[in-house]
Amino acid sequence: MSLQLKLNWSASSFCLQLELKLDNNWIGIYGQSGSGKTSMLKAIAGLQPDAAEHCSFRGELWQQGQYQRSLSSRKALYLAPEALLMPHKTALQHLQLASDWSKSPEDTAQIIQDFELQPLLALYPSQLSSGQQQKLALAQALITRPRLLLLDEALAHLDHQQKTAVLKQLKHYQQQQGFMLLWVSHQMEDLCLYCQEIVWLKQGQLQQQQQLWPLQQGQTFFAI
């Protein structure tokens, strides 16, 4: 099993309780607002430690009771709906810093080309549109060669054309780097197009976990 997860967490009016085993590399996560999608991703990334009882990834224990693997050694990146960028750094500096901090970084020039970031490089986050910010955050994440990428509506501000281009590159880098991808989206048709498996949450519970047949998924994807 690639990712094993057991969540048990209750806040004032919300209860998140589920057990999940995931093996595919492209997982779509679907559910109404407030169904626990964000909490689940954050728990996996280690950003909400009290929510998870157990979490392990590719045979490596990430969390068990009090034990917590550090954020930096997980190489799991959570991308929020509103990209978390440094207000005082330009787009280029974001990419360079991620490259400097990483032990075996992806080629920055290649990423800039693939995600068409050239015209944005000298700009600060406040000068970028929310869609451009999301693209930058994704490019920054890919530079570090993550092992697990957690997208929380992290492409939602891109227009259809841009989203298609970004997803094509994302697929390319996924095959090259071999990371696992958990993608939260409200666009069921996007999830069906790109994902191998869909997890459906409802009120903090696992409603349904569905493998998609390769015919349903792969062919439409490669036709794009």
Partner 1 sequence: MLYPAEWQALLLTVKLALLSSFFLLLLTAPLAWWLSRGHSTTRNAINALLTLPLVLPPTVLGFYLVLLLSPDSWFSQLLRLAGIEALAFRFEGLVLASMLYSLPFVVQPLQQGFAQIAQELLDQNRALGANSWQLMAQLIWPLSRPALFSAFILSFAHTLGEFGIVLMIGGNIPGQTQLLSMLIYDQVESLNYARAHLLSGLLLLFSFSVLFWLYQQQRGQQQRGQQQRSQK
For partner 1, the binding residues (CB under 8 A) are 45-47, 71-72, 74-78, 80, 84-89, 97-98, 100-103, 124, 126-129, 140-141, 144
Angle between helices 130-143 and 160-177 (to 10 degrees): 10
- Token pair for 221: 């994807």
Minimum CB distance to partner 1, residue 122 (Å): 11
Token code pair at residue 187: 């666009």
16 or 120: whose CB is closer to partner 1? 120
Residue 98 CB, shortest distance to partner 1, in Å, is: 5
Distance (Å, whole) CA 36 – CA 14: 9
Question: CB of 178: closest distance to partner 1 in angstroms?
Answer: 18
Pick between residue 35 and residue 48 the one whose CB is nearest to partner 1: 48
- Choose between 29 and 77: whose C-beta lies nearer to partner 1: 77
Nearer to partner 1, 45 or 117 (CB): 45
SS3 102: coil
Return the C-alpha torsion angle 110, 112, 113, 115, nearest 10: 120
Give the list of residues 6+ apart from residue 197 with CB closer than 8 angstroms, or none: 22, 23, 24, 26, 27, 28, 209, 210, 211, 212
